[in-house]
Amino acid sequence: MIDLNVSGEVTTALAGKRAVVALESTIFSHLGLPSPSNREALDRCLAAVRALGAVPAITAVLDGVARVGLIEAEHERILGAARKVAERDLPVAIGERWGSGATTVSASLALAARAGINVFATGGIGGVHRGAELHGDVSADLPAIARHPVVTVSAGAKSFLDLPRTLEMLETLGVPVVGYQCDDFPAFTVVSSGIALQHRIDDIGVLARIARTRLDFGGGMLVCTPVPVAYAVDAGVMNSAIERALAAAHTHGVSGPAVTPMVLAAIAADTAGAAVRANLALAENNARLAAAIAVGLAALPA
């Protein structure tokens, strides 16, 4: 059996069929956000989930144990977590007993599904990287969203990806992609990618029904909501920051799992913190919507 440790609070909530929202830990580590913004993001996401009466469940690997739900004293270990754990890395992180591993979307979904949690919030999902037709770099987030019966809430996919191909891949994988009160696929810290989504839903009750149906089919889905406009980064400003960050990654020969943390850090520095402020606002907003969906799911007749 997998050594999966689910916290007492999360176990009790699940047993009582109460709303639970899983949260990834990579975004809260230095791989996702610079200090001290990572701590602020963590605190704001937890508070947003609790404000709606749901229970947050941060996922991570600590001392070689897969964890779902952390106590406050353990948060520090996530903020400084040294290693990125995607789904393929989970068995190694557990078997080799890594001290602290920050779980990405794919690993977090695997853990959430295993624990019986059906809603998950992140900032922006990974997807098809630009140039993937040459180097083949497609985030494990996409097949994980398709395969695990968990609803993922995000502000679309990170804007330095190839967003049209990311949506094509989600379609191929059979993942329903729904805009909550928005028409377009959001572009992370930018309100819109300019790509229209096939489905827009304005009502949480309807969204919960759609989610229930998809989960019963045995897979996950993606619910998108844009960054709050007051914190959004201008598309032109972001696009030039992205160009510079990707050029730097190329110059330094960065590839594989190192690309996303490196590009996020370069954009944070380049935009004088605007991208980080937007990232905090959208992460909190996503956590709030995820909690609302979890509450809606819990309220559906069994």
Which residue number, 116 or 143, has a Cβ lying nearer to ligand PSU? 143
Residue in the structure block whose two tokens are 């004088």: 272
Residue in the structure block whose two tokens are 């749901």: 54
Nearest one of 242, 223, 232 to 286, comparing CA atoms: 223
Identify how many contiguous H helices and E strands the chain contains and give both numbers: 12, 11
Helix/strand/coil for 198:
coil
Nearest one of 89, 187, 107 to 147, comparing CA atoms: 107
Binding residues for Mn ion, total number by CB under 5 A: 1
| 227 counts as binding ligand PSU under rule CB under 6 A | no
Q: Could you tell me the CA-to-CA distances from 179 to 48, 225, 244 in Å, in that order?
A: 20, 6, 30
Chain-centre distance of CA 175, in angstroms?
A: 15
Which residue number, 75 or 158, has a Cβ lying nearer to Mn ion? 158
CA–CA distance, 227 with 188 (Å, rounded to integer) = 7
Which residue number, 7 or 106, has a Cβ lying nearer to ligand PSU? 106
Question: Dihedral of CA 92/94/98/100: which sign?
Answer: positive
Catalytic residue annotation? 24, 158
| 162 counts as binding Mn ion under rule CB under 5 A | no
**Binding track, positions 95-134, relative to ligand PSU; x by CB under 6 A:** ---------xx-----------------xx-x--------
| 141 counts as binding Mn ion under rule CB under 5 A | no
| 87 counts as binding Mn ion under rule CB under 5 A | no
Question: Dihedral of CA 152/158/159/164: which sign?
Answer: negative
Residues forming a β-bridge with 59: 68
| 89 counts as binding ligand PSU under rule CB under 6 A | no
| 69 counts as binding ligand PSU under rule CB under 6 A | no
Distance in Å, CB of 126 to ligand PSU, minimum: 3
CA–CA distance, 103 with 127 (Å, rounded to integer) = 16
32 binds, among Mn ion, ligand PSU, none (CB under 5 to 8 A by kind): ligand PSU
Q: Which of 260, 271, 285, 286 binds ligand PSU (CB under 6 A)?
A: 260
| 59 counts as binding ligand PSU under rule CB under 6 A | no
| 137 counts as binding Mn ion under rule CB under 5 A | yes
Residues forming the site for Mn ion (CB under 5 A): 137
Residues forming the site for ligand PSU (CB under 6 A): 24, 26-27, 31-32, 104-105, 123-124, 126, 139-141, 158, 257, 260, 264, 279
